[in-house]
Amino acid sequence: MKTRVGVIGLGKMGTAIALRLSGQDYAVEAWTRSGVNEVWAQETGVRGHETLAALVANVDVILLSLSDDAAVTSVLEVLIGLDISKRLIVDCSTVNPAVLTSYASRFHGAGAQVLDAPISGWPMMVSKGKCGIYIGGDESDVTRFKPIAEALSDRIVHAGSLGQGMMAKIVNNMMLASYWQSLREALQVGQSGGLSVEKMLEILINSPAANGVLALKAPVIKGAQTPPSFTVSGIVADLTMFNEVSRDAGIDTPTLRAALNNFANHEKTGAGEADFVSMIAAALTNADTETDGVL
């Protein structure tokens, strides 16, 4: 019998996690603050619960996929008051590593195990089992979680102790944010010299300067309106947290701050739900009028 899995949070990523695991023959249960839609639950085979207590009572492993530090903290506060003995609690959210580590001793004292395992990738990548997962925690707990991780991901890394999975994601996504910031600047310089966006992207996609998704994102950079793989608001939230972590560590990160500033400026124009690389398209058409800079 496969492990019973509970998913807390049914945003885009949480929904992708629940559906992927259900499709891999896991018994998946779910809870979300707004309530699980009964029709959706019947159609997908994901069993919804009205309370966290009911969810916890029916599962072995609990996955959190929540929007921010406050949401994770509020759920952890409820969980610590329930019978969580022998449960494995895995936070897949993109939040400050200190959130989960601050609860670790209390969860261990209650007989639960804890991991952080943030997802690297977009919901559609989770749906295909093609995302990355960076795990922080004890080896024995990672072993227990690994079959579930393998159902979700083809790139699993045990980064180290609790909290270091999230730190690994911060490192990875800081590099990605820097890439999009540098691409924006490079295309603006080329455009000022008379190069077309189309020609520059053709050159870059077929050069060492390309990253793994540049070709996929080229239509959006050229102005196409497509369903977002990840939103502007989503990347602003992530970069804001990364900036806080780096600031708390006393590390100056001007490239990160420049990227955050430009994504945040774009969000202010009403583009929060647009694809994140629309920030570059807007810069190339002068749609974002606020001055570049660092926060």
CA distance 9 to 15: 8
Tell me whether residue 169 is one of the annotated catalytic residues. Answer: yes
CB atoms within 10 A of CB 254: 9
Q: Which DSSP state fits 212?
A: T
Alpha carbon distance 274, 226 (integer Å): 8
Check the CA dihedral 137-139-140-143 and report its sign. positive
Residue 157 parent element (H or E): strand 153-160
Beta carbons of 159 and 136 less than 8 angstroms apart = yes
Which helix (H) or strand (E) segment holds residue 91: the answer is strand 88-91
Query: Of all helices (H) and strands (E), which one includes residue 77?
Result: helix 69-79
Q: Of these residues, 12, 86, 130, 169, which one is catalytic?
A: 169
Q: Give the dihedral sign, CA 128/124/141/78.
A: negative
How many CA within 13 A on the CB side of residue 235? 35
Residues 6+ apart with CB under 8 A from 148: 3, 5, 21, 26, 61, 63, 90
- Residue 228 neighbours by CB under 8 Å, 6+ apart: 273, 274, 275, 276
| Residues recognised as catalytic | 169
